[in-house]
Copies of this chain bind each other. A is one copy, B any other.
Amino acid sequence: MMNMLDNKKQNQIDNDQILVFKALSDPVRLKIIKYLKQLNHEVSCGEVGKAINISKTSGSYHFKLLELAGLINTRREAREKYVTLNEQTFDKYVTNFYKSM
């Protein structure tokens, strides 16, 4: 049975879901994701930015959104920030979206 507190939780889940789809609905971020998937190992933001030809400011903005959506894991090492895909999030919010919504 669904009470009003559970309803809040449901809204939070919907919000997370929406953040994920929003993050995936931009051509720059799709390029980032495809690049990371193809490489299949940790890379710096700078390397990704050079590979797909975007400015560092734009990169910073897009990596932030991907991170907020939980689609990438990030690790800072001194000057550089390293990123990888977070497959769990893809699984939960994309691959399993239809069957579990």
Please list the residues of chain A having a beta carbon within 8 angstroms of any beta carbon in chain B: 14, 17-18, 21-22, 24-27, 30, 33-34, 37, 87, 90-91, 94-99, 101
Contacts and interface: CB of A to CB of B under 8 A. Distances in A.
Contact of A18 (B25, B37, B87): B25
Please state the number of chain copies in the assembly. Answer: 2
- Interface of A, helix, strand, loop or mixed by DSSP: helix
Contact of A22 (B25, B95, B97, B101): B25
Contact of A21 (B14, B24, B90): B24
A33 B101 CA distance: 9
Contacts of A25: 18, 21-22, 24-25
25 contacts: A14-B30, A17-B30, A18-B25, A18-B26, A18-B27, A21-B22, A21-B24, A21-B25, A22-B25, A24-B25, A24-B97, A25-B25, A33-B101, A34-B101, A37-B98, A37-B101, A90-B97, A91-B98, A94-B97, A94-B98, A95-B95, A95-B96, A95-B97, A95-B98, A95-B99
